[in-house]
Amino acid sequence: MTSQNKKIINKKRIYYFSSKLTEGNKEMRELLGGKGANLAEMTSIGLPVPPGFTITTASCAEYYDAEEKLPTDLMDSVYENMQRLEKETGKYFGSSDNPLLVSVRSGSAVSMPGMMDTVLNLGLNDQSVEKLALITGNERFALDAYRRLINMFGDVVMGIEHHHFETVFDKIKKRYKANRDSELGIKGLRELIESYKQIVKEHTRKKFPQDPYLQLQLAIEAVFRSWNIPRAITYRRINDIHGLLGTAVNVQSMVFGNMGDESGTGVAFTRDPSTGKNEFYGEFLINAQGEDVVAGIRTPLPVKAMKKWRPDIYWQLLKVKKILESHYRDMQDIEFTIEHGKLFMLQTRIGKRTGPAAVKIAVDMVKEKSITQSTALLRVPANDLNQLLLPSFDPKAKRNVLATGLPASPGAASGYPVFTSDEAVSRAENGESVILVRRETSPEDIHGMHAAAGILTSTGGSTSHAAVVARGWGKCCIAGAGELNIDVKRKKIQVNDVTITGKDIISIDGTSGEIILGDVRKCPPNFSKEFKILMKWADKKRKLLIRTNADSPKDAKIARDFGAEGIGLCRTEHMFFGDQRIIAMRQMILADNQQDRRLALKKILPYQRRDFEGIFTVMKGLPVTIRLLDPPLHEFLPQDEKSQRQLARSMKVPAEKIIKRVYQLHEVNPMLGHRGCRLSITYPEILEIQVRAITEAAINCRRKRIDVQPEIMIPLVGIESELSVLRELVENTIARIKQKKKFKGKLDIPIGTMIEIPRAALTADQVATHADFFSFGTNDLTQMTFGYSRDDIGTFIPEYLNERILEKNPFQTIDSTGVGQLVEMAVKKGRTTKPKLKCGICGEHGGDPESIVFFQSVQLNYISCSPFRIPIARLAAAQAVLLAQ
Ligand code: PEP
Ligand code: MG
């Protein structure tokens, strides 16, 4: 246990909340969990919340530290707080006269919808159920509550699988000709309760506990245990949730949505979590208990339908929506219950939303003067902008619509239907795009939902856990498509007279709810006006310039449209690969002397010149950093003998010549071998031809009045003298070409270097003497600092991450403590030589928001990332400034 945990533990373990006394507040989510902290907060701002108390997350940590034993005096404090609750409600726990029932719910600091356990109606037993029937005058209700308790308790606390209860329930319903759960009468329920008790006995060899305090203790332990069940662990891993103490336990007096037709329960969002529209969005069930809506067992009614059922409650809820939004200044996800026409709030939390919704809500709330521009910028997780960049179905494409469900999370996905989560994972691992199709998804499906391109369910509503989780990930989801008949066993979907199997592709449109047969053409994204506004605010705030990694006019155009302010890395290797070029390149590699090599390379010149002209034209007015050839030469020759012989025939050279050359070029560690600037030192003619192509292209553009700003970058420098030699060569070549072309205009081409070898970072003050700029190649720098081959990490990194030996994949998020030190040192040392030295980064980390925060902190001038990550980088760079304030 950390000393910080200890500090928390030594304090209070239980926090009470009621209209008379509220001990917690919304700032205490780390200790009380999100649910507990917000129950306290809602109580203190006067909303109708049933009273209760929260056992702290630190108690959960203690439970695990003591090898899964409750802290010794915890139950004494629980007892004291139950007495307070009894006094306040006038009901008594365990009393058969006026029984107090409680719910026991989990809730950690970061919301994990549906991942952990809940038990409702706790406190009922064979006697109190009869009293409850008498007091409420509603025998059916009391029995229904009791059967739910035995089922939930059996499942969550005693570990009996839910389907045992389900099977018996179905049998009894059939016998009594009840189509729905709510149609089963008193006799049937009594029989069901006896059968449930029997199931408990058979599976655990213990009776269902009649002592309410024993029920309560076991339920608290079960909620603590649920913190570490596999689905909760998987959810935390997928969502990168670390460092929490555990789950809190909320014990709250029960209110009942299943007391008849004047009762109900629902879940709602204060704004539409798919689109962000400022519209009350949610659903409810009449005569049902809390979990029925989220579990997706019955398809609920949209919350607007409440206007007809109980308009007074609908207006009351709208008032609550307003109060909560203006109090929290953010979109809320609420749970409520109506007992005999009286509204109670059971939860509020910041609502999960899609990327497009996050942008719209943030911008709208600034317009509503609820939050500032800076808050809006911090509200949108930069990576979620990815969802705005995803394609949607082309509106002009033909659609063979099979059915329509509830559009639960927007987007467009096509793939093969799969019927279990394990199949989703295994087929996705084989590279197939799959749609997970279920009657309802349960939290057990988390791994399959993550692997699938989209999720489709036949029951449940747009607030079912499937929908909530999908939206959190920005994954396309349709829920409640009731026309689908899903046969999980036979792996088939029947819809009207069409049968779909796992071999047919289907498409799902999470915006319209349409389920379509076949693959539908997709089209590029269309940016909302709110997105453009947010980007403008980001640009105003950020200090880092955003460039892109692009090596073709097409990518350069995409990047420029996304707001790139230059090219930070134009890799030139592909410019040697086209049909004619590769032949010339191979002739160059096979040539025996420099003269022949020059002749071969000259054939590539016009192609490269044209390539550069294309890129310069698209990027006119902006800098374009061109990196000279980097990979080892053997990559340009075929490696197997058959292809080598074929090549020999086509080049009309003896096969042995090629085989011998490949043998000569072979390296045990090519990534540490004859590549980068080492190639230019040994084959200066390659450098010369590239520099010539760049200079001629620039001159041609200038003559067409295109404002070109080329920069030349030398890769893999580790020693100052490598750069000084090559710089001279580049300068001389540029001067020669200018002279040859009789170009008198101004054409300065800065010459810089990549810093991607630790030695270059360590000696950056010397390297800077010959460099006009530095660009950190954090891919190679990570490879060489860790000593991990960047091409072979698949063999051990996943295990390192699972075992938490590494917190993050260092090739995705910069290792700020190790690799980052080298970056920081190189910037500082470089600027001691040249105070205004321009420094950027062009490794993959340039598009990672967390790394961008680091790059801002070491005062780089720019980051360069792939075109599609530019909006993310623009926002992340603004957030980096705000986070540093
Ligand atoms: C790098 O090493 O970070 C880099 C940008 O270059 P490349 O990935 O081409 O080696
Ligand atoms: Mg590199």
777 lines ligand 1 (CB under 6 A): yes
Closest ligand 1 atom to Cα of 777: 3
632 lines ligand 1 (CB under 6 A): no
Q: What angle do CA 112, 116, 118 make, to 5 degrees?
A: 125
Which H or E run includes 265?
strand 264-269
Quote the ligand 2 centre to 639 CA distance (angstroms): 23
Nearest alpha carbon, ligand 1 atom 1:
777
Quote the pLDDT of residue 465. Answer: 65
Residue 782 and residue 806: Cα distance in Å, rounded? 14
Q: Which of 261, 295, 340 is nearest to 148 (CA)?
A: 295
790 lines ligand 1 (CB under 6 A): no
* Average pLDDT estimate for 262-278: 94
Q: Is 842 a catalytic residue?
A: yes
pTM of the full structure: 0.83
Task: Tell me which amino acid residue 769 is.
Answer: T
Which pLDDT tens digit goes with each residue over 143-186?
999 999 999 999 999 999 988 999 999 999 999 998 878 789 99
Quote the ligand 1 centre to 805 CA distance (angstroms): 25
* Average pLDDT estimate for 41-56: 97
* Average pLDDT estimate for 233-246: 84
Q: Which of 351, 343, 196 is nearest to 274 (CA)?
A: 351
325 lines ligand 1 (CB under 6 A): no
Q: What is the DSSP letter of 22?
A: B
Q: Which of 352, 371, 346 is nearest to 42 (CA)?
A: 346
Question: Is the pLDDT assigned to residue 425 strictly greater than 70?
Answer: yes
Which pLDDT tens digit goes with each residue over 116-132?
778 999 999 999 999 99
630 lines ligand 1 (CB under 6 A): yes
Q: Are 856 and 560 in contact (CB under 8 A)?
A: no
From the CA of 811, the nearest ligand is 1
Q: Is 667 helix (H, G, I), strand (E, B) or coil?
A: coil
Question: Is the pLDDT assigned to residue 690 strictly greater than 90?
Answer: yes
Which pLDDT tens digit goes with each residue over 90-116?
999 987 788 999 999 999 988 777 667
| Lookup: tokens for 37 | 């902290």
Quote the ligand 1 centre to 576 CA distance (angstroms): 18
843 lines ligand 1 (CB under 6 A): yes
Which pLDDT tens digit goes with each residue over 543-566?
999 999 999 998 899 899 999 999
Question: Is the pLDDT assigned to residue 1 strictly greater than 50?
Answer: no
The string of DSSP letters for 448-515 reads HHHHSSEEEESS--TTSHHHHHHHHHT-EEEE--TT-EEETTTTEEEETTEEEETTS-EEEETTT-EE
Q: Which of 378-392, 487-501, 856-870 has the lowest average pLDDT?
A: 378-392
Residue 468 and residue 75: Cα distance in Å, rounded? 34
From the CA of 629, the nearest ligand is 1
Q: Is 789 helix (H, G, I), strand (E, B) or coil?
A: coil
Q: Which of 237-241, 263-267, 870-874 has the lowest average pLDDT?
A: 237-241
Share of the chain above pLDDT 90, in %: 75
Looking up tokens 């909302």 gives: 528
Quote the pLDDT of residue 7. Answer: 46
**Dihedral sign of CA atoms 690, 692, 693, 694 in order:** positive
Nearest alpha carbon, ligand 1 atom 10:
780
Region of 246 on the Ramachandran plot (φ > 0 left; ψ -120 to 50 alpha; else beta):
left
Q: Which of 143-157, 395-409, 682-696, 725-739 has the lowest average pLDDT?
A: 395-409
Q: Are 405 and 515 in contact (CB under 8 A)?
A: yes
* Average pLDDT estimate for 752-781: 98
629 lines ligand 1 (CB under 6 A): no
The string of DSSP letters for 807-864 reads SS-TTTS--TTTHHHHHHHHHHHHHHHSTT-EEEE-SGGGG-HHHHHHHHHTT-SEEE
Q: Which of 4-8, 312-316, 661-665 has the lowest average pLDDT?
A: 4-8
Which pLDDT tens digit goes with each residue over 60-82?
999 999 999 999 899 999 999 99
Task: Tell me which amino acid residue 322 is.
Answer: K
62 lines ligand 1 (CB under 6 A): no
Question: Is the pLDDT assigned to residue 578 strictly greater than 80?
Answer: no
Which pLDDT tens digit goes with each residue over 433-442?
999 999 888 7
Pocket test for ligand 1, best of 572, 756, 774 (most atoms within 8 A of CB): 756
* Average pLDDT estimate for 30-47: 96
Quote the pLDDT of residue 297. Answer: 61
Closest ligand 1 atom to Cα of 778: 3
Quote the pLDDT of residue 4. Answer: 45
* Average pLDDT estimate for 339-349: 95
Quote the pLDDT of residue 704. Answer: 96
Q: Which of 548, 540, 544 is nearest to 851 (CA)?
A: 544
From the CA of 782, the nearest ligand is 1
Residue 320 and residue 334: Cα distance in Å, rounded? 10
Residue scoring higher pLDDT (231 or 601): 601
What's the chain's average pLDDT?
A: 92
Quote the ligand 2 centre to 700 CA distance (angstroms): 30
Quote the pLDDT of residue 839. Answer: 98
Question: Is the pLDDT assigned to residue 462 strictly greater than 70?
Answer: no
Quote the ligand 1 centre to 551 CA distance (angstroms): 13
| Lookup: tokens for 756 | 């991607």
Q: Which of 7-21, 720-734, 748-762, 772-786 has the lowest average pLDDT?
A: 7-21
Which H or E run includes 234?
helix 230-238
* Average pLDDT estimate for 466-478: 80
Confidence band for 2, pLDDT divided at 50, 70 and 90? very low
Q: Which of 32-41, 133-142, 835-844 has the lowest average pLDDT?
A: 133-142
| Lookup: tokens for 193 | 């309760």
Which pLDDT tens digit goes with each residue over 174-217?
999 988 787 899 999 999 999 999 999 999 999 999 999 999 99
Q: Is 465 a catalytic residue?
A: yes
Nearest alpha carbon, ligand 1 atom 3:
777
Residue 261 and residue 286: Cα distance in Å, rounded? 6
Quote the ligand 2 centre to 780 CA distance (angstroms): 5
Closest ligand 1 atom to Cα of 843: 3
Q: Is 577 helix (H, G, I), strand (E, B) or coil?
A: coil
Nearest alpha carbon, ligand 1 atom 8:
779
Nearest alpha carbon, ligand 1 atom 4:
777
Task: Tell me which amino acid residue 497 is.
Answer: D
SS (H, E, C) 387-432: HHHCCEECCCCCCEEEEECEEEECCEEEEEEECCHHHHHHHHHCCC
Residue 874 and residue 527: Cα distance in Å, rounded? 15
Which strands form 14-17's sheet, in the order they lie side by side?
14-17, 52-55, 248-253, 102-107, 118-122
Distances (CA, A) of 512 to 354, 409, 504: 15, 10, 21
SS (H, E, C) 200-215: HHHHHCCCCCCCHHHH
From the CA of 569, the nearest ligand is 1
551 lines ligand 1 (CB under 6 A): no
Quote the pLDDT of residue 772. Answer: 98
264 lines ligand 1 (CB under 6 A): no
Quote the ligand 2 centre to 627 CA distance (angstroms): 10
Quote the pLDDT of residue 263. Answer: 93
